Every structure is written in C-alpha cells, then in structure tokens.
Structure 1
Amino acid sequence: MRDIVYSFQVSLDGYIEDASGRIDFASPDAELHQYFNDYEKAFDTHVYGRRLYEMMQYWETADQEDEPIVVEYAKTWQSLEKVVFSRTLDAVEGKTRLATKSLTEELQALKALPGKQIAIGGATLAAEAIRLGLVDRYHIVIYPVLLGGGKRMFPVFDQPQHLKMIKTQYFESGCIILEYERLN
C-alpha cells in the first residue's frame, strides 16, 4: 500500500504561516527549489484542504513563467491527481476533483490503488488524518526563522505520536529537511 505523507514548510518555532497568515518566510532558494522539484516526483496524488488548494492554484499557470526551475515544478504539479476537501467549493481546476466521501474513506481508497506516494496538505485536514492514524510519514522543511506566532504545523494531540527519523538533509540556506515515519 502507498504511504500518506504530511509535508510542509515550517519556521523553526513550528509555524506554517505568520500571525498575519503570510507564508513568505518559506521562499526556497534555487537549491531548495530543485530539491522540491525532484521530491515531488515521488508522488502522484495530493490531498488538500480548501485553503491550501487555493494557494497551490498558482501552479496551474506557473508553467508560463520564464524561470526554468519554476516551470519544471509547475509541469510536475499539474500532472498530479489532486483531491480537495471543501464545504464551500463547487468546482476545481486541472487534474483535480472534490472529495465526496469521508477523509478515512477517501484516503483508504487512494492507498489501495497502485501508484506512488500520496501527499496530504493543509494543517486542519492533516491534523484530522493524524488523529485518525492515517498519516504514515512526515516530511518537514524547517526554515531558519522564528515567527513567534501564527498557524502551527501540528495540533495539540490527545496522546503522543511516536515517530522514527528516517532522513535528514541540510541546505546552504540553513534549511533542514527532517523526515519521520509513524511507529504507532
């Protein structure tokens, strides 16, 4: 079965956006951007909450930009299947569909299909998947910045989530990749 991976860019103090809702602290340099381009090829499906899906819509047309590294990522992203959980959206674009079943039913059905890894994104949606025991791996890109507040990557849990580190990687920019798998 395929793994479900919660992947996010985060500040050193654990925030995915600042107190104003901005994510501009997470601007990858060329080295990190190329890492993301290569990393994305391990996936064939993304599962999003509405807000993250709307932010990622940028990539639907980013292949028209001049920067080759941006075009490469855009083309990879556009080729992926996307499933969006939303109570407010009526339509989505590209290779995207709105979820029609519960989070558990959708993720279990995706995992049972042949293919590559499945990415889940959106802190609220991922928190629910974590609580349900559906997230297999965590991929965290830590930026060398302290935001002091904002939206946290992880919710408060009722019980500890035990993990095993499976990868670390360091970048010239000071960013660090940490990858863990779930133990329980």
Structure 2
Amino acid sequence: MRRLIYGFSVSLDGYINDRAGNIDWTDPDDELHQFHNDRFRDVEVSLHGRRLYELMAEYWPHVPEDAPRIEREFAALWTEKPKVVFSRTLTEVHWNSTLVGANAVEEVRRLKAGGDGVMEVGGASLAASLMPHGLIDEYQLFLLPVVLGGGTPMFPSLAERLQLRLAETRHFDTVVMLRYLAE
C-alpha cells in the first residue's frame, strides 16, 4: 500500500499561508529547495486541492529559462509528475494531471491501494478531508520563524485526537523540519 505524506511550510502559530493567502514568507533557500526537489523525485503521485493546483500551475510550468537551476529542476519535476487534482469547480487540468470531482476519500483509498510507493497530498482542505479517515501516514512540517496571527491552519479542527509519533527532526539554515508518523 502506498504511503501518503502531508507536508507544508508552516508558521510558528500553525498557518500555511497568511490572511491574504500569501506564501511569500515561505521562500526556501537553496539547501531547502534542493531537499524538496530530492524528496519530490520519490513521490509517485501528487494529490492537489484546487487552490494549490492553481497556485502551482500559475508558476511552475512557466519558469523562465534564466531562472536559477534549482527552480528549473523543480519545474521539470512538477510538470512531469503524475498529479490528481480534486475539484468540483475546475473543468480541465494540464501538465500530467487527472481531474477528480467525486469523493476524495474513496479515490485516495483506491490510489493508496494501487501501489507500494509514496504519494503526497497538497492543500489544507484536501488534507483536512482525509485526516479523519486515517489516510495520511506521515506529516512533514517545515517550521519557519514567523508568526502570522491568522491564515489557513495546517491542521483543521478535528472531532478526535490525531496521535502522532516524532520520527525525525532536521535543522536547515532557515527552517526546522519535524517529521511525524501517524499511529
């Protein structure tokens, strides 16, 4: 069965974007960017909510040729990687993406059963819909030294406690990564 990872850059107060939806405060340095590029190579399928897909599709397929090598590398990885986009409002997706408008929980169960590699989920709303069903196996928080005071929380309000076990910490120059496994 595939493992599903939910990872995001997150503020000290638990937000993945600010009140205006901006993520400009998450700009990774080269060390962290390379880590994300290397990690993304191991992902078989990337699951996106609508908002994250639109944000990624707005930038990564259009990275200029004179952009830094590390950005061009991720752009190639992102456009080539199989993606499943969950949306009830989009009518089409591009760049090796499949659009799913039906039940995300059932589709993710099917995708997890379809292999033994790694998938990632991107998008707080999509991840929030999967958490109560125990579909996320690993959580990766890239903790940045900023307090936003509001925005989109990485974790939604849940009816039941989500028990996690710390599996790894890693210090980068700009962030601390906390990796947790679901129990």
Summarize deviations over 1:93-115 as a string: whole Å, max 9, x none.
11001015411221122112235
**Corresponding residue for 2:161?**
160
Ranges in structure 2 where 5+ consecutive residues have no aligned partner: none
Q: SS of the residue aligned with 2:24? A: coil
CA distance in 2, matches of 1:94, 1:115: 24
**Corresponding residue for 2:62?**
61
CA contact (8 A) 2:15 2:150 kept: yes
User: What is the 5 A alignment of 1:39-50?
Assistant: 39-50=39-50
**Corresponding residue for 1:109?**
110
Amino acid at match of 2:128: A
Q: Aligned pair 1:87/2:81, yes or no?
A: no
Q: SS of the residue aligned with 1:38? A: helix
CA distance in 2, matches of 1:50, 1:95: 15
Summarize deviations over 1:19-55 as a string: whole Å, max 9, x none.
1111111010111111111111120111111000001
Q: SS of the residue aligned with 1:6? A: strand
Identity of aligned residues (%): 41
CA distance in 2, matches of 1:102, 1:87: 10
Ranges in structure 1 where 5+ consecutive residues have no aligned partner: none
Indicate the RMSD between aligned Cα atoms, in angstroms.
1.3
CA contact (8 A) 2:87 2:101 kept: no
CA contact (8 A) 1:63 1:75 kept: no
CA distance in 2, matches of 1:66, 1:147: 29
What is the CA distance between 1:3 and its match in structure 2? Answer: 0.4
What is the CA distance between 1:137 and its match in structure 2? Answer: 0.7
What is the CA distance between 1:62 and its match in structure 2? Answer: 2.1
Structure 1 stretches (4+) deviating beyond 6 angstroms?
none
What is the CA distance between 1:74 and its match in structure 2? Answer: 1.1
TM-score computed with the length of structure 1 as normaliser: 0.94
Amino acid at match of 1:53: Y
CA contact (8 A) 1:5 1:137 kept: yes
TM-score computed with the length of structure 2 as normaliser: 0.94
CA contact (8 A) 1:44 1:115 kept: no
CA contact (8 A) 1:15 1:153 kept: yes
User: What is the 5 A alignment of 1:121-140?
Assistant: 121-140=122-141
Q: SS of the residue aligned with 1:141? A: strand
CA distance in 2, matches of 1:106, 1:156: 23
